[in-house]
């Protein structure tokens, strides 16, 4: 039993109160500590990735209680991948927040940031579904604080909406857990996976209710139709670096669907066979449509990017809904890609919006580094919309290739291809209004003096955006090795008996 | 007793959902509190209802016991929902003071005009 597995939870959990209580008045010290912690988290995540690479499922028993009785953390390829994704994204977002000074516009940014990382890493690592609820609450309560960071009228109102939405979701989560416990007597994911297939189909009514309730809860997190409506208002009103970090939060929902609805209610379970995908697939198709129409109709830059996030979640969940190893490989590749694409868009949008008069998509005079910003924006937009040469194209290609079954191909291909087209048009329109039409407008002059143009972005501000772009490029260049790792990941995910026997293995005598 | 507990959960849930749909902060806070009470009783009863039984295994006798796990779960749920309600009250207060309105839904015109500034 290796103690490395608990570190991604313990490290931010220790750092956050230290930053919150001892460094609350010293932003420099808080920045140094927070960066140190995030870099360390990235190092730890690489160690975990190395441990999981050989395909063994590592177990960490908290308090050394054996599995169905105590809480376990489970490290397999999927959770190692997700923790690495979180740590990489967090470092870039943190660098951006420090360079642009967002973290100094309100109190406790760094403490909340570390708590957020603790919740996300915990949710990816836990092997107990009640513990998943607890980590969800940790990441949510930190996200409430981050969402309303630096305040403002619209942000507070959008934040309130976000909190109410998620509290209602948490209540549903508890109802689902109660139902699940009443019908199976356990909340350990592996133990559930062992017990639920034994329930005959005609007695599994309660289990079906629980599976559906859990589906709705995770759909709220993953912004799936019909519970996607909170996302555009939340993301477009959150501080931009926080919105970029939230790119991983929707993926927590997608991860939970993958984990729970594959391992516990997966294919071949008599009680819930065919029920989840029958609902997930059409909902995901509608989500793609809503996202791309939203991109086309948005009048401001931040809602435009938020709607593109909704659309990408739809594409991701269409692939998840197939519940097959091939489609899951595609979904995982697209998940990694869309996280960084969304983060890149939010970060570049922050640089542009802070130098313009608001984020409405109307031409005003050009910013100083118009060319640089335009290049980065269009590169990120190409990635998000799924055009070659960046990884969005490969991701969508993998998804399309995986969805060739005769009953899904028409809907899935139409939705993804038409959705991509609408997204391209939406981004092209937004980009030309922001960057190209602006060059035709001279800076307004007041009484002979030209208005002082906004300050130039320095290297520190542009570096995090470039890093996210570099990840997207690396994802497309190393698509082969990445895809083969993800293929092993999804095979491991669908090997339910391997997961069950690894987690429920008897404790060796010492 | 089952009927009593079940109807209590049902009534609280119905009231909670109704208040939640009022979309003003104070009813919504009350509604979420009611919902969390309902879910706490629900989790508690998911380990089957039993009277006069301790949640502890006795080494020395054949005394039957009630399931201790839901009691531990409900304790966690109570602590979390208490904390969340406190956060919600503070954020609602902040939003009310900032926006001068206790409505939870945001008008589209608001979104287009105000935050474009």
Q: What is the pLDDT along chain A (510 residues), one digit of tens a residue?
A: 688 999 999 999 999 999 999 888 888 999 999 999 999 999 999 999 999 988 888 899 888 888 788 899 999 999 999 999 999 999 999 999 999 888 888 888 999 999 999 999 999 999 999 999 999 999 999 999 999 888 888 888 888 989 999 999 999 999 999 999 988 888 999 999 988 888 888 888 888 899 999 999 999 999 998 888 889 889 988 999 999 999 999 999 999 999 999 988 877 787 777 788 888 999 999 999 999 999 998 888 899 999 999 999 999 999 999 888 999 999 999 999 999 999 999 999 988 888 877 777 777 766 777 888 889 999 999 999 988 888 889 999 999 999 888 888 899 999 999 999 999 999 999 988 888 887 777 666 555 555 555 677 788 888 999 999 999 999 999 999 999 999 999 999 998 888 988 888 887 655
> Cβ(A43)–Cβ(A85) under 8 Å?
no
Chain A nearest C-alpha distance from B22 (Å): 12
What angle, 0 to 180 degrees and rounded to 10, lies between the N-to-C axes of helices A240-259 and A77-100? Answer: 170
Number of domains in chain A: 1
CB contact under 8 A, A300 and B116: yes
Task: Give the separation between CA A245 and CA A471, rounded to whole angstroms.
Answer: 15
Report the pLDDT value the prediction gives residue B107, as an integer from 0 to 100: 64
The two three-digit tokens of residue A86, written as one number = 């979180």
Residue B116 pLDDT: 46
Residue A187 belongs to some domain of the structure = yes
The span from the CA of A167 to the CA of B39, in Å, is 12
Examine the pLDDT at B110 and tell me if it is beyond 70: no
- What integer pLDDT is reported at residue A452 of this predicted model? 55
Euclidean distance between CA atoms A427 and A176, whole angstroms: 40
Categorize the per-residue pLDDT at B117 as very low, low, confident or very high, splitting at 50, 70 and 90.
very low
Q: Say if strands A445-446 and A72-75 run parallel, antiparallel, or are unpaired.
A: unpaired
**CA of A238: which chain B residue's CA is closest?**
B115
A449 lies in a domain?
no
Q: B89 falls in which pLDDT band (50, 70, 90)?
A: very high
Chain A residues with CB under 8 Å of B99 CB are 153, 156-157
Contact yes or no for B43 and A174 at CB 8 A: yes
- CB spacing of B91 vs A148 below 8 angstroms: yes
Q: Residue B39 and residue A171: Cβ atoms within 8 Å? A: yes
Look at residue A510 and tell me if it is in a domain: no
Residue (of A101, A213, A106) closest to A150 by Cα position: A106
- The pLDDT of residue A387 is 85
- Residues in chain B with CB shorter than 8 Å from the CB of A237 are 115
Between A278 and B116, the more confident residue is A278
Which residue segment(s) compose the domain that A281 sits in? 3-443+456-503
The Cα–Cα gap between A46 and A81 comes to 9
CATH assignment at residue B90? 1.10.287
Test B39 with A168 for CB contact under 8 angstroms. no
Number of domains chain B is built from: 1
What pLDDT score was predicted for residue A442? 66
Closest CA to B116 of A237, A240, A229: A237
Q: Is residue A478 included in any domain, yes or no?
A: yes
- The answer to the question of residue A344 being in a domain is yes
Alpha-carbon separation of residue A237 from A92, A170, A273, A297, A306 (angstroms): 20, 22, 40, 18, 10
pLDDT of residue A353: 85
Q: Which domain does B23 fall in, by range?
A: 2-49+67-116
Decide if B42 touches A, using CB distance below 8 A: yes
Q: With an 8 Å Cβ cutoff, are B106 and A233 in contact?
A: yes
Rounded-to-integer distance, Cα A319 and Cα B44, Å: 37
Which residue among A164, A177, A181 places its CB closest to the CB of B104? Answer: A164
pLDDT at A136: 94
Closest CA relative to residue A325, chosen from A487, A92, A135: A487
Is B60 contained in some domain?
no
pLDDT of residue A119: 95
Instruction: Give a yes or no: residue B6 inside a domain.
Output: yes
* B31 has pLDDT over 60: yes
Confidence check: pLDDT of B115 > 70: no
CA distance linking residue B12 with residue B32, whole number of Å: 10
- ipTM (interface pTM): 0.90
Stretch (H or E) spanning A449? strand A449-450
Assigned domain for A310 exists = yes
Q: What is the pLDDT of residue A199?
A: 85
B83 pLDDT exceeds 80? yes
Contacts of A510 (CB under 8 A, 6+ apart): none
């Amino acid at each position: 039993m290796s103690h490395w597995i608990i570190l991604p939870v313990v490290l931010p959990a220790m750092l956050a109160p230290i930053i919150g209580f001892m460094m609350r008045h010293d932003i420099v010290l808080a920045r140094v500590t927070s960066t140190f912690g995030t870099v360390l988290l990235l190092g730890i995540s690489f160690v975990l990735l190395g441990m999981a690479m050989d395909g063994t499922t590592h177990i960490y028993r908290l308090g050394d209680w054996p599995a169905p009785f105590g809480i376990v953390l489970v490290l397999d390829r999927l959770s190692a991948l997700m923790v690495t994704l979180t740590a990489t994204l967090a470092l870039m977002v943190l660098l951006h927040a420090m360079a642009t000074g967002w973290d100094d516009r309100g109190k406790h940014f760094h403490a909340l940031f570390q708590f957020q990382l603790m919740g996300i890493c915990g949710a990816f690592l836990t092997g107990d579904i009640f513990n998943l609820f607890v980590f969800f609450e940790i990441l949510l309560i930190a996200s409430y604080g981050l969402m309303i960071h630096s305040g403002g009228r619209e942000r507070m109102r959008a934040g309130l909406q976000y909190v109410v939405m998620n509290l209602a979701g948490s209540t549903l989560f508890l109802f689902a857990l109660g139902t699940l416990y009443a019908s199976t007597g356990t909340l350990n994911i592996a133990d559930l996976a062992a017990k639920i297939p034994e329930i005959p189909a005609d007695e599994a009514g309660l289990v079906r209710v629980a599976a559906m309730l859990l589906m709705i809860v995770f759909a709220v997190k993953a912004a799936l139709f019909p519970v996607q409506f909170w996302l555009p208002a939340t993301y477009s009103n959150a501080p931009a670096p926080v919105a970029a970090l939230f790119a991983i939060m929707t993926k927590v929902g997608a991860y939970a669907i993958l984990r729970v609805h594959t391992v516990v209610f997966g294919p071949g379970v008599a009680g819930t066979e065919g029920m989840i995908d029958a609902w997930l697939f059409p909902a995901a198709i509608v989500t793609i449509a809503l996202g791309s129409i939203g991109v086309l109709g948005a009048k401001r830059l931040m809602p435009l990017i938020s709607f593109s996030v909704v659309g990408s979640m739809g594409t991701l969940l269409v692939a998840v809904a197939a519940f097959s190893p091939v489609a899951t490989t595609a979904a995982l590749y697209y998940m990694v890609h869309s996280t960084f694409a969304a983060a890149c868009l939010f970060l570049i949008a922050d640089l542009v919006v802070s130098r313009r008069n608001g984020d409405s998509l109307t031409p005003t005079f050009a910013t100083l580094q118009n060319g640089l910003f335009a290049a980065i924006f269009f590169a990120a937009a190409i990635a998000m919309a799924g055009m070659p040469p960046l990884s969005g194209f490969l991701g969508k290609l993998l998804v399309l290739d995986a969805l060739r079954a005769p009953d899904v191909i028409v809907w899935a291909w139409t939705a993804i291809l038409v959705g991509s087209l609408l997204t391209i048009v939406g981004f092209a329109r937004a980009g030309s209004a922001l960057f190209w039409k602006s060059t035709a407008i001279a800076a307004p002059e007041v009484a002979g003096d030209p208005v002082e143009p906004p300050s130039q972005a320095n290297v520190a501000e542009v570096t995090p955006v470039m890093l996210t772009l570099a990840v997207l490029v690396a994802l497309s260049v190393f698509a082969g090795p990445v895809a083969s790792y993800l293929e092993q990941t999804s095979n491991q995910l669908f090997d339910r008996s391997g997961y069950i026997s690894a987690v429920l293995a008897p404790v060796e005598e010492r | 007793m089952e009927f009593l507990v079940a109807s209590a959960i049902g009534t609280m849930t119905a009231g909670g959902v109704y208040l939640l749909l009022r979309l003003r902060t104070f009813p919504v806070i009350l509604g979420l509190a009611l919902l969390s009470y309902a879910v706490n009783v629900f989790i508690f009863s998911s380990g089957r209802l039993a009277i006069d039984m301790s949640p502890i295994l006795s080494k020395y006798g054949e005394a039957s016991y009630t399931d201790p796990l839901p009691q531990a779960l409900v304790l966690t749920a109570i602590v979390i929902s208490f904390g969340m309600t406190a956060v919600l009250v503070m954020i609602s207060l902040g939003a009310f003071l900032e926006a001068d309105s206790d409505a939870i839904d945001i008008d589209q015109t608001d979104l287009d005009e105000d935050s474009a500034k």
